[in-house]
Amino acid sequence: MTYPRFIAAACLALVALDARGQEITQVPVETFELANGMKFLVVPRPELTTVSAGWVAHVGSANERPGITGLSHFFEHMMFKGSHAIGTTNIERDLEIIEEQEILQEQIRAIYRKQRERYRLGEIEDPFDADARPPELIELEHRFDELVEAQRELMVKDEFDKLYTEAGASGMNAFTSEDVTVYFITVPANKLELWFWMESTRLLKPVFREFYSERDVVHEERRLRTESTPTGKFDELFSAMFWESHPYSWPVVGWPSDLRVYSLAQAREYYDTYYAPGNLTAAIVGNFDVAEAKILAERYFGRLPAAASTPPDVVTLEMPQSAEKRMDATCDCQPQIELRYHTVPFRHRDSYALDVLANILNGRSGRLHKALVLEQEIAVHAGAGQDSRKWAGSFSLLAETKGDATPAVLQLALEEELRKIREGPIPEREIQKVKNQITASSYRRLASGFFLLLQLLIYDGLGDWNYINEWAEKTLAVTVDDVKRVTTTYFEPSNRAVAHYYRKEGSTSVELPTELEGLPPQMQQRIMSQLEHIRASENLEELKGMLEQLPARFEQAPPPAQKALPLLVRSVEERIAELEGGAR
């Protein structure tokens, strides 16, 4: 048997002291690497009865280009379609159908090239308009649909999920961001080998079943998250305006026109580039034996062939901004504002001071809530946050109006709080309160094996998993002068984009459920959109599946969003009762 070449373990003390004697939680992580380049981060926790395990592909929407935007997120869907061994009753015929579909799709893409030419000449208003399809396109799509149905007759629906569920696993899910794609699940301690087999199998022999029909699912996801929310399309527009040259300018879900023209060849090339073992890191946290995990890693993931080359870096830098950008939008929403400034990426030396600044401004006892919500009573919500992505970063201040206040009034108030930070005193007790919160957070964020797993995967995907052991100490070292310096450095009008959202004339505010009060406006809108989808759904199977998955999904959600779980569960249960009652 060939064993992995092991890297020295990063065995760290559970609790360390910083220079000021404050306790900082550390994670004892052991690392090893297989000969094919795949890395592993393992944290035994024998007190648990389960193992949380997952892996990160170091790829996100920033690695795409115009024409294939959204492909990283699309792969997140594809990776649950099974493999040669999972998801089909006849793999030979299954693969034949996929190739037959591709032949038809190449003919369909050729027609769409002509449709785009007609669009450029002004002959049609939309190259994808169903009513503008020529007869040959309709015939090709009909033949393609017949192949889709033939493939579905061979499929074992949701077998990947069922194999895990029958073994007692829970919380299987994945997500895609601008920089990473993460897959994860929690399994009983005695089912760890199942995880190794399942995950390595779908990486070794993936089958992109329903590749083209799955685009409809992604379109629906885009509709729910972007087009059906009051500010969704404007938020997307604002990001495209904010990022001038960087690939962060397009949405993770992709542009609709790109989603319609992906080819299977493009997908396979993308997969071979970014899903090679040298571009993957796995993490395991829970009740397991490290020596056994190393053997299983070699046995299963060691089968993956090494790539011939490494994936290319993202090399396009954001152009320095020289003038303020502004967007005014009207929507069915409460008037609100966002000020977004260009700042720094993940692990930049200034990112820690910017995080402290966000903590000074945020929270029920933070400066924004005190000034805008309690004292001036011009906002129902106000917050701030530093977004340090892998290649670049931004800092946002957001607020939603109360009463007769306008976005312009909120902007002045937000700018005044920044001025006070920059020019006024910052009491030592205020900084110390933030640092106490950081120290407490360093314990809380590591208490759950599942959340520890997610952090290891995300931070590794962003560039360094060891951030989990460094962030607290570096953040505690931030001084008042550091906070003032970054406020002066980055918070200039010429370095920002400003978005004012106004209520559309004739629209009325929707009554907000009490469970959503106090949540950020964008989070409120997403959950309200989910409620709308639930109440309009006619699909009993979908609703019942949603009811089973909601608790696990909200376990993975940010703590503020978790308070909405009972509301969503109740809405799903009520809709199921309505549909079942109607059926009787």
In a shared domain, residues 202 and 92 = yes
Note whether 490 and 570 are same-domain residues. no
Q: With beta carbons less than 8 A apart as the criterion, state whether 475 and 18 touch.
A: no
| Strand residue runs (E) in 413-555 | 496-503
HSE of 66, CA atoms in CB hemisphere, 13 A: 4
| Domain that includes residue 255, residue range | 63-168+197-230+238-278
Q: In the 3-class helix/strand/coil scheme, how is 178-206 assigned residue by residue?
A: CCCEEEEEEEEHHHHHHHHHHHHHHHHCE
Same domain as 97, residue 152: yes
pTM of the predicted structure, to 2 decimals: 0.85
Supply φ then ψ for residue 325, to 5 degrees: -105, 150
- Verify that 85 and 218 share a domain, yes or no: yes
Do 121 and 266 belong together in one domain? yes
Q: Is the same domain home to 263 and 358? A: no
The Cα 226–Cα 254 span in angstroms is 11
Q: Residue 474 is which amino acid?
A: K
SS3 string, 359-425, reads HHHCCCCCHHHHHHHHHCCCEEEEEEEEEECCCCEEEEEEEEECCCCCHHHHHHHHHHHHHHHHHCC
Number of domains in the chain: 3
What stretch of H or E contains 521?
helix 521-536
Same structural domain, 134 and 273 = yes
Do 157 and 90 contact (CB within 8 A), yes or no? Answer: no
Alpha-carbon distance of 392 to 386, in angstroms, equals: 11
Domain identity same for 574 and 466: no
Give, for all 584 residues of the chain, the pLDDT tens digit.
332 322 222 332 344 444 444 556 688 999 999 999 999 999 999 999 999 999 999 999 999 999 999 999 999 998 998 889 899 999 999 999 999 999 999 999 999 999 999 999 999 999 999 888 999 999 999 999 999 999 999 999 889 999 999 999 998 999 999 999 999 999 999 999 999 999 999 999 888 888 888 887 888 888 777 877 888 899 999 999 999 999 999 999 999 999 888 899 999 999 999 999 999 999 999 999 999 999 999 999 999 999 988 999 999 999 999 999 999 999 988 899 999 999 999 999 999 999 999 999 998 889 999 999 999 999 998 999 999 999 999 999 999 999 999 999 999 999 999 999 999 999 989 998 888 888 787 777 778 899 999 999 999 999 999 999 999 899 999 999 999 999 999 999 999 999 999 998 866 555 667 677 666 666 776 677 677 667 767 777 667 767 766 765 665 555 566 777 788 888 888 788 877 776 54
Same domain (yes/no): 496, 528: no
Q: Specify if 436 maps to a domain.
A: yes
Q: What is the CATH number of the domain that holds 463?
A: 3.30.830.10
Q: Which residues contact 214 (CB under 8 A, 6 or more apart)?
A: 74, 77, 78, 81
pLDDT at 3: 27
Residue 189 domain-assigned (yes or no): no
Q: 247 and 352: one domain? A: no
Return the structure tokens found at 451.
Answer: 């959340």
| Residue 380 lies inside a defined structural domain of this protein | yes
| pLDDT for the residue numbered 14 | 40
573 lies in some domain = yes
**Residue 356 CA from chain centroid, whole number:** 23
Can you tell me whether residue 539 is helix, strand or coil? coil
> What is the C-alpha to C-alpha distance for residues 271 and 260, in angstroms, rounded to an integer?
19
Within a domain: residue 548?
yes
- Concatenating the DSSP letter of every residue in 24-35 gives EE---BEEEE-T
Closest of 427, 353, 421, 359 to residue 393, by C-alpha: 353
Q: How many CB atoms lie within 10 A of CB 77?
A: 18
Neighbours of 17 (CB within 10 A): 11
Domain match, 447 and 559 both: no
